[in-house]
Amino acid sequence: MPADRLAMRQIKDILRLRYDAGLSLREIARSLDLSVGVVSKYLQLASDAGIGWPPPADLDEQALFKKLQPPPPAIAANPLLPDFAELHQELRRKGVTLQLLWEEYAEAQPNDHYSYSHFCVLYRQWRKRLSPTMRQTHAPGDKLFVDYCGPTIPVIDVLTGEVRDTQIFVAVLGASNYTYVEATFTQRLPDWVSSHVRAFEFFGGVPRLVVPDNLKSGVSKACRYEPAITRTYAEMLEHYDTAALPARPYKPRDKAKVEVGVQVVERWILARLRKLSFFSLAELNAAIRRLLAELNHKPFKKLPGSRQSQFEAKERAALKPLPGQTYQYAE
């Protein structure tokens, strides 16, 4: 009904025909050429305002009009959203479920929260915005993903001038993304095994499983279902009370974590070293360590904290302790 003088006259007619003439809603609607719904609405507004017929003498037309206007529709405020980035991190803890997280969220906001089903839908929508490797949930201390970068960094021999390309080893912990990087001259078994030993020492502990790609140094027979681990590699892992779970061929999600880690290392570390000259492996690894510290402290874009903070808070304590003696490679 438009808010004008004509509307006020019709409202008065509705009240008069109802309370003075005693007409039904349909009869009033037919008499005034209005819908039954409009007649019913204004009669209800008059009843709520305590106004019958005739209206109070001290109530002028403008005041009466205001009393009989419907209240503005209430704007429904959406409940506060939980911090899904923090919840995503909490889900990595053993025994933590979405049901538990929703109960804690609802308890913190008893009068303003989403239902459990809506909560789950919103979380899954948020999760889809993460990269595939971030969507995978890894328990703290469970897996260490290892591989080599594609690009190499040259090292120049100061005596002979010979240039040797170095191989860049990358190890990424599944839950925190805490990363270890080093350069070696080859990917052969001695360097492969020694890089693992130094990675364990860097982390200060050992994961339950190591997930390598089907590299010849670690896997003697690449098989989709039961890849065979080289004997020396297996002995080294046994010394550290862990085991290898090689990524299956043609299953990129098995090693998505380290593939993303390798990409980050290539962009954050190797790209920054590309114009520098190195004259020893030790000099190159010192430069890598400086940039690696920056990488591990760099804040995440979509998750809270950094690799370092997540490692310290959740993963360090979940790693197995290092053995009393360092593994020594032998032919």
Q: How far apart are CA 27 and CA 137, in angstroms?
A: 67
Residue 77: what pLDDT?
58
Which tops the pLDDT comparison, 255 or 296? 296
Residues 6+ apart with CB under 8 A from 237: 196, 210, 229, 243, 244
Examine the pLDDT at 319 and tell me if it is beyond 60.
Answer: yes
Examine the pLDDT at 218 and tell me if it is beyond 70.
Answer: no
pLDDT band of residue 72 (cuts 50, 70, 90) is low
pLDDT, average across residues 206-234: 70
3-class state of residue 65 by DSSP:
helix
Examine the pLDDT at 224 and tell me if it is beyond 50.
Answer: no
Q: How far apart are CA 183 and CA 286, in angstroms?
A: 10
Residue 115, phi then psi, degrees to nearest 5: -70, 165
Q: How far apart are CA 251 and CA 42, in angstroms?
A: 68
Give the relative orientation of helices 231-239 and 189-203 as an angle to the nearest 10 degrees: 20
Question: CA-based Rg of the chain, rounded to a whole angstrom?
Answer: 35
Residues 6+ apart with CB under 8 A from 239: 323, 327
Q: How far apart are CA 26 and CA 30, in angstroms?
A: 6
Chain centroid to CA 167: how far? Answer: 32
State how beta strands 163-173 and 153-156 pair: antiparallel
3-class state of residue 316 by DSSP:
helix
By CB atoms closer than 10 A (0-12, 13-18, 19+), residue 4 is exposed
Least confident of 119-123, 164-168, 173-177, 282-286: 119-123
Residues in the chain: 331
- Reported as a single tens digit per residue, the pLDDT across 32-62 is 788 877 878 878 887 877 777 777 777 676 7
- Reported as a single tens digit per residue, the pLDDT across 74-90 is 545 577 777 777 777 77
Q: How far apart are CA 118 and CA 65, in angstroms?
A: 42
CATH of 143-318, one of 3.30.420.10, 2.40.50.220, 3.40.50.12780, 2.40.30.10: 3.30.420.10
Residue 164: what pLDDT?
95
Which tops the pLDDT comparison, 280 or 6? 280
Which tops the pLDDT comparison, 132 or 152? 152
- Reported as a single tens digit per residue, the pLDDT across 87-102 is 777 776 666 788 888 8
| The pair of three-digit structure tokens given for residue 247, joined into one six-digit string | 């990524």
- Of 291, 331, 62, nearest in space to 188 by CA: 331
- Counting Cα atoms < 13 Å in the Cβ hemisphere of 88 gives 23
- Of 259, 262, 284, nearest in space to 273 by CA: 284
Q: How far apart are CA 20 and CA 239, in angstroms?
A: 99
Q: How far apart are CA 308 and CA 207, in angstroms?
A: 17
3-class state of residue 30 by DSSP:
helix
| The pair of three-digit structure tokens given for residue 159, joined into one six-digit string | 């005596």
Q: What angle do CA 306, 196, 90 make, to 5 degrees?
A: 30
Residue 223: what pLDDT?
44
